[in-house]
Structure 1
Amino acid sequence: MGALTDTRKRLSADHRLLPSFPPSPPPPSKKPKLAPLPFSSSLTASLPPSPSLPPNLPSSSSSSSYASAAAAPGPSSAAAASTSYSSGIPSSTPYRHRRLPPPPPLPRPIHGPHRVVRAFRLGSARSRCGGPSPSSPPPWRSLGLEQYVELVNSVAHLPPPSPSSADAPRTRVEVIAVEDAEEGKDDKEEHEEEEVKGRVVVRRTPLYKELYEASSRLRDGKLRTLQFEVRLAEKGRLGLEQLADVLPRFTPKKKEVHEPFAPLMNEDENSVDHALGSRNRRERLVVHESSNIVITREILQCLNETEWLNDEVINLYLELLKERELREPSKFLKCHFFNTFFYKKLITGGYDYKSVRRWTTKRKLGYSLIECDKIFIPIHKEVHWCLAVINIRDKKFQYLDSLGSMDMKALGILARYLVDEVKDKSGQHIDALSWKQEGVKNLPLQENGWDCGMFMLKYIDFYSRDMDLSFGQKHMCYFRRRTAREILNLRAE
């Protein structure tokens, strides 16, 4: 039994090594547990050729005979196998009538240690049965050196190193500014460590120096103190800026008071009240020596409300306006102020220039009328005061009536007078008759029957300042008291 068992094991091993080895019939005492399966030609073709075939048996004949023997079960298959085997092996062997077990339908992997080739994912495990395992993935194609380098770079996400950067020293580049080429020339002399490339100025600083400076700043107590003071100053500046925006909301705006509307002081108010309210009406209050005008309390009381202005108050106020101009010539226009008797004298008997010829001599005035910017002529019409203006600067004649009326005849007479005056004093001829004659637009008008003289004086005052007529009826009470104060002080402001 021991010899027989060894022979059976050897035959079974030969059968695995040689698929064309004829199967042995089963022993008479044992039956096959599994029926043989039909063996297709495709499976035979898939099997690899065995390298241990006898030299006298061709592979085609052995495979065909083995396939026919496996396909026909029973004695006929065994006879056919013995016939095919007898051609190459002697028939006198005692095991020619025994059948070997049928081969497995699919090659099975041997559960033993085997080598797996997985270097660089170029292959997989190979089975010892002659082919790749159906469950294993298909082998990768072989990669060249360039493909391998490309694969490594794609995994690392790093650009390939350039040969020029390998030789350069490892320094940190700090971009300072982007400047023009002309500005970079001056920086070369001041900073030797800077390098100009195109339009970008870069500075190469070693990394250890930068780290050392950063650490020294952190340890420097004075520097931390300065940084704190800088932050504190910035917060203070921001607070002041916000305060500048908020402060006007709580602080009322101070109204700018023009000089023609400057309020009176308490002392001035008391002196005006005393001058306008006392019972001694013949008392002399002031005397203007250059014009020889004497102002008594009775004359000054015309500045009270509901009173008409008289000639003495108007003429003295015009004299004060002329003195104001001579005192501050840069602040006021160069003007001439005729008194209230000039126009009456001029139109006596129609038009008489000779009656007023000596009123404007240069020896008496110190200047000629043609040199003035504006000439003011008060016109009294029985119970109403008006104003005529010869505007030499703008070459036009203007008429101002607080009741809104217009007198073209008076402007024509004044144009004729200007022509005769210039011809008499300088021998020149001007075409004043062609100048424009107009009324003033947006003229402040009186709203009662007694403020016409006060409106006329304020027309003269504002025009001599070269200002617009920015007043109205509501200011007349203040203007009356201010005129009284200026006459008492003999000084117009």
Structure 2
Amino acid sequence: MNTVSTFSNASPPILARVAQRAEQQTVEEKENVPPSTEAVKKVEVAARDDEVQTRDNEWLRTKFPFGRPVSAVRLFYPVQKPLPPGRTESIYAYEWRKIEEEKRAKQKPTRVRPEGPAVRPLPPKWEMKISEIKSMPNNRQIATTLSGDPLTKRDLATCYTPMAWLNDEIINSYLALIVDYLRRSHGNAGRHDKPRFHAFNTFFFSNLRDKGYQSVRRWATRAKIGGEALLNVDTVFIPVHNSAHWTLIVVRPGERTIEHFDSLGSLSRRHVGLVQGWLRAELASRYVEEEWTVLPSISPQQDNGSDCGVFLLSTAKAVAIGLEPQSYGAKDIVVLRRKIVAELMNGGLEGDFDPTSGGGDPLL
């Protein structure tokens, strides 16, 4: 019988069974072939890897009297831990940052209230110097700011004259003295040190209020405290001028606190809200609203409509030196006006004007 003709005459079901039987026989032959040496090695290596990983995991779960020596495990069997959902950085970086923040919180300054007067008298020689400049021309340069700008008799007269309104030059230059004192006293005055203290000038808040965040978007960056770096800053002073009245906002990014000192006692929640908006925009994803607290801030009260600028500067200095702002009051303003002028002429809070020069509690 002709085999070819037999298969050609077979029905389709028979052909299908024959093809299936041939395919099954081919698979059985492949399964019976002994594995190559290379394949055996791969299986053995994989088995050893599984043993190492298992031993590693069992060792991690073992309890030790002095804690788990995780560093040894990571040294010999470095295994990258998966990041939790929603986190974009290593879990160790997050924990380290939390430890640093807790350390800074424990180091936060406490404000004291001295038993005696909080304002140190102005030395007689400085009283004489201030009296001498009163007879000089208004455009005569009397002092220089830390940035090198001139301060004229006209500028200083807004401060030493009773009931006069302080101008922007006095407020900006004196806040700069306070920041300079803080940086030097905290070992943060180096050229390459990232600032831990900063004071925005008098135009920062008005721009933020009238033009929005975009108008001050680069201010913090230019001061080297922009973005996430802001959280490493200890204190930021923000002078607020609104409706012919000066107040002071103090932001402590490291402690996540905001204080608003107003010598007229108003709440001014809108001012604080604007600063919160700036923080939210500046910090972006690092801003967590639940972490921030607006502290109740009681300011000494003025007894007229002209001394608000002096209260702003005196409260800023009190906060800087760790003094309770309520330690001084309206009765001290005449002396404080003249001390501000003398300290600007002196070029800093040093020498006769070192807040801690007398020993004991710091004084204004």
1:269 corresponds to which of 127, 130, 139: 127
**TM-score, with normalisation over the residues of structure 1?**
0.43
Matches within 5 A, 1:360-375: 360-361=220-221, 364=224, 368-375=229-236
- Asked if 1 retains the 8 angstrom alpha-carbon contact of 2:280 and 2:287, the reply is yes
> In the alignment, is residue 416 of structure 1 matched against residue 277 of structure 2?
yes
The DSSP-based 3-state class of the residue aligned with 2:301 is: coil
Distance 2:214 2:267 in 1: 27
In the superposition, relative to structure 1, how do residues 412 and 435 fare at CA in structure 2: closer, same or farther (>3 Å)? same
> In the alignment, is residue 402 of structure 1 matched against residue 263 of structure 2?
yes
- Asked if 1 retains the 8 angstrom alpha-carbon contact of 2:225 and 2:233, the reply is no
Q: Which runs of 4+ in 1 moved over 4 A?
A: 255-258, 330-334, 362-367
In the superposition, relative to structure 1, how do residues 485 and 340 fare at CA in structure 2: closer, same or farther (>3 Å)? same
> In the alignment, is residue 385 of structure 1 matched against residue 243 of structure 2?
no
The equivalent residue for 1:157 is none
The equivalent residue for 1:344 is 206
For structure 1, the 5+ residue unaligned runs are 1-254
The equivalent residue for 1:485 is 342
The equivalent residue for 2:307 is 451
- Asked if 2 retains the 8 angstrom alpha-carbon contact of 1:388 and 1:400, the reply is yes
2:318 corresponds to which of 450, 462, 471: 462
Matches within 5 A, 1:42-81: none
- Asked if 2 retains the 8 angstrom alpha-carbon contact of 1:408 and 1:437, the reply is no
Task: Give the number of the structure with larger relative contact order, counting CA–CA contacts within 8 Å between residues 6 or more apart.
Answer: 2
Distance 2:290 2:140 in 1: 48
Distance 2:115 2:265 in 1: 31
The one-letter amino acid paired with 2:263 is: S
The equivalent residue for 1:56 is none
Distance 2:275 2:155 in 1: 30
- The percent identity for this pair of structures is 31
The equivalent residue for 1:283 is 140
- Asked if 2 retains the 8 angstrom alpha-carbon contact of 1:320 and 1:490, the reply is yes
For structure 2, the 5+ residue unaligned runs are 1-113, 190-194, 355-364
The size of the alignment, in residue pairs, is 229
- Asked if 2 retains the 8 angstrom alpha-carbon contact of 1:384 and 1:452, the reply is yes
- Asked if 2 retains the 8 angstrom alpha-carbon contact of 1:336 and 1:369, the reply is no
The equivalent residue for 2:98 is none
In the superposition, relative to structure 1, how do residues 472 and 330 fare at CA in structure 2: closer, same or farther (>3 Å)? farther
Deviations 1:270-312 (A, max 9, x none): 111112x21411111122252x432110111011111111100
1:362 positional shift: 6.2
1:309 corresponds to which of 162, 166, 171: 166
The equivalent residue for 1:242 is none
The one-letter amino acid paired with 1:270 is: M
Distance 1:363 1:384 in 2: 26
Matches within 5 A, 1:56-455: 261-275=119-133, 277-288=134-145, 290=147, 292-303=148-159, 304-329=161-186, 334-349=196-211, 351=212, 353-361=213-221, 364=224, 368-423=229-284, 428-432=285-289, 435-441=292-298, 443-455=299-311
1:363 positional shift: 6.7
Deviations 1:463-488 (A, max 9, x none): 11222111111111111111010111
Which region of structure 1 is more displaced relative to structure 2, 357-366 or 405-414? 357-366
The DSSP-based 3-state class of the residue aligned with 2:217 is: helix
